[in-house]
Chain A
Amino acid sequence: MTVTSAPVADTADDGTAVVRRRFSSASFNWRGLVFVVALVALIELLTMTVVNSIYVPRPSQIAEAFVAEIGRGEMLSGIGGTLLAYAQGLAIATVLGVILGAALGAFQPAYNTFRIVIEFLRPLPSVALIPFSILLLGVGPTTTVAMIVYASFWPILFNTYYGVRDVNDVAVDTARIFGLSRLAVFFRVQIPSAAVNIAAGIRISAAIALILVITVEILTRSGGLGYYIIRMQVAIRTEDMYAGILLVGIIGYVINLAMAGLERRLVFWNGDIRTNGGSR
């Protein structure tokens, strides 16, 4: 869902135009801004006229509250802890997910052994597991991190599993022919082949992890931006609550932008090279 190459690209008059457009889209996306502005304006209009609820503040009010809260510092005070827990959780989930997913994908007996347990654990909502986690890890960042790992681990695991399992035979056989060990084939062929899938998995999880860190903070009141949001909700400061949510969305957007940039570098060969030619 990154704003990058489109295989059936819009017709360009010549190759260079396409190239130029690629660059402009990488630097600044004016269209996206226009869309956002239009959408916000529409909501503003709707909240002023049709939707008249005190529980749905107007975008302008939220913006006002956002600026005020930034100034007051309260909203930002917990952000460090939130981001730290987020980063730790996502990092652990990525490492575990890639390693285990790849192992399961490369080694069918392993998948067979763990299949049922995995499928059993996967749909358990982390929300329901929080009490157990508190019991084991106490209230605080450890529980938050554990819950993030639990929720964001699965997409990475499964995308990696599929990517590694469906790697093309010729690529693997080539490496085997040259006498690479199973492990070397795994790291040097299967993992890079699956990189496209892994990247997509991480991108999904990057969002899930952010949702989770906020949700857990809300549910356990263990500080951070989530606690800010719930405190504002309980204090009936709706605008300020939405200001907090706006901040979450902005953080999510920035994270995604960074992820997409990273992905473009890591799996640069995916489609990009071909479309660089400027196909019409």
Chain B
Amino acid sequence: ACGGGSGGGGGIEESEDGTTKITIATVGSDSGSQAFYADKQGFFEDEGLDVEVKIVANVPELAAAVESGDAEFALTSPTSVTSASVAGIDFQIVAGGAIYTQDNPGVWVMLPEDSDVTSIEQLEGRSLAVNALNTMPHLSTLATLEDAGADISKVNVVTLDFTQVGQAFESGQVDAATVTAPFNYQIEADGLGSTLLAPYDAVNAGEDFYNTIWFGSEEVVDANPEAVEKFRAALKAANAWANDPANEEERKSILQEYTSLTDETLATMQLLQFGDEVTEDMVQPTIDIMERFGVIPEPVEAASVIAE
């Protein structure tokens, strides 16, 4: 099963009753929740898809699941598809996921409650926690810092899981942290910290871009245009449903089923918006920022990682 995607084979099988069986892997949070809605609301079924939704943890596991053919499609960030591409793994983006918008950024730089920092460049010489290096939260914060005139080499970046940030703030271990929902809400509610700014604003000059996307291996994508179409169509329907404020209550209850978030947390949470079409200009900014901070050695064209 080591050969590129050989485990999944080129073809996705159609079962006797005409449904197409696929497995998809996603993360158990709001940003990966499209699949849950599509599954629960029957959008997959409508397209003749018989989908098994697996929840997987992190980028390496997601990639391995797709690479081995264990899952046909999986959710990740554009940055990891780009990294994979640079490393010689041919992943192709097949559909859109959560979108950044200026009024719904999804990621925030937060400061502990008693912090004397008032603007971001003051973080020079201090410690900043990010969940992982070279991911969007990290790079966008660097961009924000640099744009504000700070010397980023003087910022002491430490990696810290989102779940640990609250505790680190409480005990004064870090001076700032880049946090996603719902942790930012919780930290604010607990009175441990406050929001400084949204670092994603610096990625695409405040314009929309994809925060997460769906991808598959090139081999599978090329060999199964029909299945890809059906998957896109189902997600499109799911997006329309999820983006409709009228469905917010129902959406939250499905989300709760998968994530076990409490009612209080859900009540304070601003839900993410999802996009259908994956266009180059909604992916390229993330790739550019990777290049800016030397994560990838040379420029990559967004078109090369987006499936037809």
Touch A–B, Cβ below 8 Å = yes
Point out residues on A near B: beta carbons under 8 Å. Answer: 53-55, 74, 130-132, 134-136, 138-140, 218-222, 227, 230-237, 240
**Mask of B40-77 contacts with A, CB within 8 angstroms, 1/0:** 00000000000000111110110111011011000000
Residues of A within 8 A of B261 (CB): 235-236
Q: Are A135 and B68 in contact (CB under 8 A)?
A: yes
The stretch of B94-102, B182-190, B286-294 that contacts the partner chain: B182-190
Q: Give B140-189 interface residues, CB cut-off 8 Å to A.
A: 162-163, 166-167, 170-171, 182-183, 186
Residues of B within 8 A of A74 (CB): 260
Residues of A within 8 A of B28 (CB): 221, 231, 234
Q: Are A139 and B65 in contact (CB under 8 A)?
A: yes
Q: Are B163 and A221 in contact (CB under 8 A)?
A: no
Q: Are B166 and A138 in contact (CB under 8 A)?
A: no
Give chain A nearest CB distance to B30 CB in angstroms.
11
Residues of B within 8 A of A237 (CB): 260, 262
Residues of B within 8 A of A138 (CB): 65, 68, 70
Q: Are B167 and A55 in contact (CB under 8 A)?
A: yes
Tell me, in angstroms, the Cα distance from A52 to B60 when the chains sit together: 37
Residues of A within 8 A of B167 (CB): 53, 55
Select which of B65, B67, B163, B190 is within 8 A of A233 by beta carbon.
B163
Interface size range of chain B in the complex: 35 or more
Residues of B within 8 A of A139 (CB): 25, 54, 56, 61, 65, 70-71
- With A53-B171, A54-B170 already in contact, the answer to whether A236 and B68 are too (CB < 8 A) is no
Q: Are A131 and B260 in contact (CB under 8 A)?
A: no
Q: List 23 A-B contacts (CB under 8 A).
A: A53-B170, A53-B171, A55-B170, A130-B61, A135-B1, A135-B68, A139-B54, A139-B61, A139-B71, A218-B57, A219-B58, A221-B55, A227-B55, A230-B57, A231-B259, A231-B260, A232-B260, A234-B162, A234-B163, A234-B259, A236-B182, A236-B261, A237-B262
Q: Are B190 and A131 in contact (CB under 8 A)?
A: no
For the complex with contacts A54-B166, A139-B25, A240-B260, 15 further pairs of A-B residues with Cβ separation under 8 Å are: A53-B167, A131-B60, A131-B63, A135-B68, A136-B1, A138-B68, A139-B56, A139-B61, A219-B57, A221-B56, A227-B55, A234-B162, A234-B163, A235-B182, A236-B262
Tell me, in angstroms, the Cα distance from A269 to B112 when the chains sit together: 61
Tell me, in angstroms, the Cα distance from A68 to B190 when the chains sit together: 23
Query: Quick check: is B2 within 8 A (CB to CB) of the other chain?
Result: yes
Tell me, in angstroms, the Cα distance from A15 to B90 when the chains sit together: 76
Tell me, in angstroms, the Cα distance from A131 to B183 when the chains sit together: 27
Tell me, in angstroms, the Cα distance from A55 to B163 when the chains sit together: 10
Q: Which of A218, A220, A222, A232 gathers the greatest number of chain B CB atoms within 10 Å?
A: A220
Q: Are B67 and A135 in contact (CB under 8 A)?
A: yes
Tell me, in angstroms, the Cα distance from A230 to B192 when the chains sit together: 22
Residues of B within 8 A of A234 (CB): 28-29, 162-163, 259
Query: Quick check: is B204 within 8 A (CB to CB) of the other chain?
Result: no
- With A53-B167, A74-B260, A231-B260 already in contact, the answer to whether A134 and B186 are too (CB < 8 A) is no
Query: Quick check: is B265 within 8 A (CB to CB) of the other chain?
Result: yes
Q: Are B61 and A55 in contact (CB under 8 A)?
A: no
Tell me, in angstroms, the Cα distance from A135 to B3 when the chains sit together: 10
Q: Are B265 and A235 in contact (CB under 8 A)?
A: yes
Give chain A nearest CB distance to B193 CB in angstroms.
12
Q: Are B64 and A134 in contact (CB under 8 A)?
A: yes
Give chain B nearest CB distance to A240 CB in angstroms.
8
B171 and chain A: residue at smallest CB distance? A53
Residues of A within 8 A of B2 (CB): 135-136
Give chain B nearest CB distance to A56 CB in angstroms.
8
Residues of B within 8 A of A134 (CB): 61, 64-65, 68, 70
Give chain B nearest CB distance to A219 CB in angstroms.
6
Give chain A nearest CB distance to B28 CB in angstroms.
6
Tell me, in angstroms, the Cα distance from A140 to B260 when the chains sit together: 21
Tell me, in angstroms, the Cα distance from A234 to B186 when the chains sit together: 11
Residues of A within 8 A of B265 (CB): 235-236
Give chain B nearest CB distance to A101 CB in angstroms.
30
A53 and chain B: residue at smallest CB distance? B170
Q: Are A136 and B166 in contact (CB under 8 A)?
A: no
Residues of A within 8 A of B183 (CB): 236
Give chain A nearest CB distance to B11 CB in angstroms.
18
Tell me, in angstroms, the Cα distance from A175 to B127 when the chains sit together: 68
Residues of A within 8 A of B171 (CB): 53
Give chain B nearest CB distance to A254 CB in angstroms.
26
Residues of B within 8 A of A230 (CB): 57
Give chain B nearest CB distance to A71 CB in angstroms.
15
Tell me, in angstroms, the Cα distance from A74 to B182 when the chains sit together: 21
A219 and chain B: residue at smallest CB distance? B57
Tell me, in angstroms, the Cα distance from A230 to B163 when the chains sit together: 10
- With A55-B170, A74-B260 already in contact, the answer to whether A136 and B61 are too (CB < 8 A) is no
